[in-house]
Amino acid sequence: MFDVEALRIQFPILKREVHGRSLVYLDNAATSQKPRSVIDAERHYYEVLNANIHRGVHALSQEATDAFEAARDKVRDFLKARRREEIIFTRGATEAINLVAHSWGRSELKPGDEILVSEMEHHANIVPWQLLCEATGAVLKVIPIDERGALVPGAVESMVNARTRLVGITQVSNALGTVNPVAEIIRLAHAVGAVVLVDGAQAVPHMAADVTALDCDFYVFSGHKLYGPTGIGVLYGKQALLEKMPPYQGGGDMISQVTFRKTTYNDLPYKFEAGTPHIAGVVGLGAAIDFVHSVGLEAIAAHEDRLLAYATQQAECFEGLRIIGTVPGKASILSFVLKGVHPHDIGTILDNEGVAIRTGHHCAMPVMDHFGVPATARASFALYNTTAEVDALFGALRRVEELFLK
């Protein structure tokens, strides 16, 4: 039995009020709230363990290093990666993609090579590839989406070719909720010798990621959408690829030996972790993974699916409301526009009712262009949301209607 009330009390922020009303937090696709265990893990780190890692001989340094590396093992297990050396800590999914674009891309690509991304990508999975294309002469190709917000059937198969070197694809669209057939895309890409980077930022809170079963070459996600801290994320890369890639940043921790004549680099994963990392964030991410395991990803997904179905049902009956993204099997995201009301006005009125949603382009401007809207309103659900909160959302939307459309 999924006990949402027992989960809610683990999230201190859910007790607060906004504009004199109970907070209804439905902006989880932007960032999720943090459970007590994650907050406590960071606090414990600073109160008990804090020291720099991988250097000192003193007790604190050893304990901090142990906590940091234990979190790496948790991430490895969470992603079902084969080896801990394949788990690189970054500032977030964005930095992880930039790392691959910079290190793999600049050493591998030549003019005329092709990179494929989809029209529904977050800007973080578009712009680093545009920069890479400018630097190398490679060409960016865009996999189109259809009117439901799904990849156009057959498009990937017809677009991959011998020049394709990398496919960058999101597992779950942050603007639409679409779940992409990444396993099939990986198979098609591998058939032409291309590597695949999967953006899992929006997927990891909702579904089990198994990089070994998927056989993806790179997988990235951010801690803060997974009930973990901001400023920490993960790059998974296949060891053989990571071994060949040059360092992304130079500094401490990533070196083996430095002289002014020659510097040799550290082994994986440290080769890509220059400088003192966000140790507290890594420890907090480990606690977030423990938390998600304690609830169970299947139970979380089932709960969110119920909420999305309930919300979609109400949305379909709401006059003048158009859902943006209507593919069956979506993950936890209801993006919509309301006839006669700009999303920004919706956002302000909902906020006044204590309901937090996202309005804007969701860092996916090509998606907005595709649907011919300047912006959308987006409600996104997490494990602690309730059907009563969905009712509050639609109650607040009635208020918008009263104000604007009476």
Partner 1 sequence: MSNLRDLYQEVIFDHNRHPRNFGPLPDANRHADGFNPLCGDRLTLNLRVQDGIIQDARFEGSGCAISTASASLMTEALKGKTEAEAAVLFEGFHHMVMGEATTVDLGKLAVLAGVSEFPARVKCASLAWHTLNAALKNEADPVSTE
Point out the catalytic residue in the list 133, 216, 317, 363. 363
| Residue 372 in contact with partner 1, rule: CB under 8 A | no
Instruction: Fill in the amino acid letter for 318.
Output: F
Task: Give the number of other CB atoms < 10 A from CB of residue 328.
Answer: 8
Element (H, E) at 196: strand 195-199
| Residue 19 in contact with partner 1, rule: CB under 8 A | yes
| Residue 24 in contact with partner 1, rule: CB under 8 A | no
| Residue 344 in contact with partner 1, rule: CB under 8 A | yes
| Nearest to partner 1 of 18, 139 (CB atom) | 18
Residue from 183, 241, 342, 356 touching partner 1 (CB under 8 A): that is 342
Look up 133 and say whether it is catalytic: no
Element (H, E) at 67: helix 59-79
| Residue 123 in contact with partner 1, rule: CB under 8 A | no
Q: Give the CA angle between residues 173, 179, 183 to the nearest 5°.
A: 120
Residue from 108, 305, 345, 391 touching partner 1 (CB under 8 A): that is 345
Residue from 365, 366, 371, 395 touching partner 1 (CB under 8 A): that is 365
Stretch that binds partner 1, among 46-54, 157-165, 276-284, 352-360 (CB under 8 A): 352-360
* Residues 195, 22: Cα–Cα separation, whole Å: 47
| Nearest to partner 1 of 63, 351 (CB atom) | 351
**Long-range contact set of residues 153-157: C-beta below 8 Å, sequence gap at least 24:** 156/116, 156/184, 156/185, 156/188, 156/189, 157/188
| Residue 135 in contact with partner 1, rule: CB under 8 A | no
Residue from 206, 361, 370, 378 touching partner 1 (CB under 8 A): that is 361
Asked if 117 and 142 touch (Cβ cutoff 8 Å), the reply is: yes
Asked if 176 and 325 touch (Cβ cutoff 8 Å), the reply is: yes
Which residues in this chain contact partner 1 in the complex, by CB under 8 A?
Answer: 19-20, 341-345, 348-349, 352, 359-361, 365, 368, 373-375, 403-404
Task: Show which residues are catalytic.
Answer: 363
